[in-house]
Amino acid sequence: MTPGWLGPQIARLRGAYASGRLSHALLIHEAPGAGGEWLAAWAARLVLCSSPPEAAPCERCAACRRAAQEQHPDLMFVRPLEASTQIRIEQVRELAQELTLTAHQGGYKVGILTPADSMNRFAANALLKTLEEPPQGTLLLLVASQPSRLPATILSRCQRVQVRAPERAQAIAWLEATRGSGDWEKVLTVLGTAPMTAAATDAKAVAEVAAEVRRGLEEAAAGEGDPVATAERWARSELPLRLTCVENWLTERIRGRLAGGAVFTEVRAGAHPRGHGESLDLRQLFGLLDAVRELKSSFDAPINRGLALESLLRSLETRSS
């Protein structure tokens, strides 16, 4: 089902293709999970479709069907390899070499890099030559939620297409139409208004993990529970989702402190216990948030994630002054 919020972008690309004005390189700047990769795949079907431009993509011809299954010989996806968070130079070189070959169907050859902002600097430099001297009939589609991480030399050679997050109600309606009923409101609260990310999950499982993480954090903030066992359990299962839940929990408390005017470290007299998380001032909360985000981006690094999580949970423990 076509996401309704992508209608303007679809119309723009279709019009450019039909009039022969489609750029050889498009940077699809998406809000995370808002459909940037979906739009890139649609654009690939648009130029590979056997139908006339005004009727493409027909979604019925062999080219459309093969492209939809990522099995078209003239369509290449470049993603981080399994267990990696980066697109590497070898992958980009392989793409560049493939794009120089004659298209199997005599039309376009298409390369989709997603997320393009995961290219390391060597891969980005390797892509630059292809962007500067693209082979005839080439379409490069770069999907990125943080294009600022790409070199300016790449950004300047791409035409940008913006994909914003849809309204919450629109996202839920699309999820119900494509995935069926579920607690999508709760899933989007955890993941943000990222319907494409939500569509790839089990709504019930996400809600259960979110509730478990919240309990664990509240226990840690109250000086209860077993931080070692909790950290080991979290590190073994659904760690990216759990870290997102931790990030949300910390963000809630930062917003609460800011709304309450707690800008400076709170100093208390006496030895009475505080409420959940009260022993942490804003600086500490922001520090923990940075640590969580660093952990989310370090899946390539050989670190002890269980130990990092245990340290975070212990930092949440309430203390008497």
Tell me the HSE value of 319 on the side-chain side, using a 13 A CA sphere.
10
70 — phi, psi (to 5°)?
60, 40
Is the CB of residue 241 less than 8 Å from the CB of residue 247? no
Number of H helices, E strands in the chain: 14, 5
Q: What does the radius of gyration of the chain's CA atoms come to, in whole angstroms?
A: 23
Question: Where do runs of H (alpha helix) occur along 182-304?
Answer: 184-191, 195-199, 203-221, 227-236, 239-259, 282-296
What distance in Å separates the CA atoms of residue 285 and residue 217, rounded to the nearest whole number? Answer: 13
Specify the amino acid at residue 143. Answer: V
> What does the pLDDT read at residue 141?
98
> What does the pLDDT read at residue 261?
63
What distance in Å separates the CA atoms of residue 200 and residue 187, rounded to the nearest whole number? Answer: 11
Measured N-to-C along each axis, helices 305-315 and 227-236 cross at an angle, to the nearest 10 degrees, of 140
Q: Which of 294, 39, 291, 34 is nearest to 188 (CA)?
A: 34
> What does the pLDDT read at residue 1?
85
What is the full per-residue pLDDT of the chain (321 aa) written as tens digits?
899 999 999 999 999 999 999 999 999 999 999 999 999 999 999 999 999 998 999 999 999 999 999 999 999 999 998 767 899 999 999 999 999 999 988 899 999 999 999 999 999 999 999 999 999 999 999 999 999 999 999 999 999 999 999 999 999 999 999 999 999 999 999 999 999 999 999 999 999 999 999 999 999 988 888 999 999 999 998 998 999 999 999 999 888 888 766 544 443 333 334 444 445 678 888 989 998 888 887 766 667 888 989 998 998 875 422
> What does the pLDDT read at residue 274?
42
Distances (CA, A) of 79 to 28, 34, 65, 266: 15, 18, 21, 46
> What does the pLDDT read at residue 284?
86
> What does the pLDDT read at residue 56?
95
DSSP for 84-104, please give it.
-SSB-HHHHHHHHHHHTSPPT
Specify the amino acid at residue 236. Answer: R
> What does the pLDDT read at residue 258?
85
Place of tokens 């709504």: 203
Is the CB of residue 164 less than 8 Å from the CB of residue 184? no
Is the CB of residue 221 less than 8 Å from the CB of residue 285? no
3-state SS assignment for residue 26: strand
> What does the pLDDT read at residue 59?
95
Residues 6+ away with beta carbon under 8 Å from 123: 86, 87, 88, 89, 91, 92
| pLDDT, tens only, 87-127 | 999 999 999 999 999 998 889 999 999 999 999 999 999 99
Question: Taking CA 98 as the corner, what is the angle to CA 95 and CA 102, rounded to the nearest 5 degrees?
Answer: 150
Measured N-to-C along each axis, helices 305-315 and 203-221 cross at an angle, to the nearest 10 degrees, of 50
Is the CB of residue 257 less than 8 Å from the CB of residue 282? yes
3-state SS assignment for residue 78: strand
> What does the pLDDT read at residue 272?
35
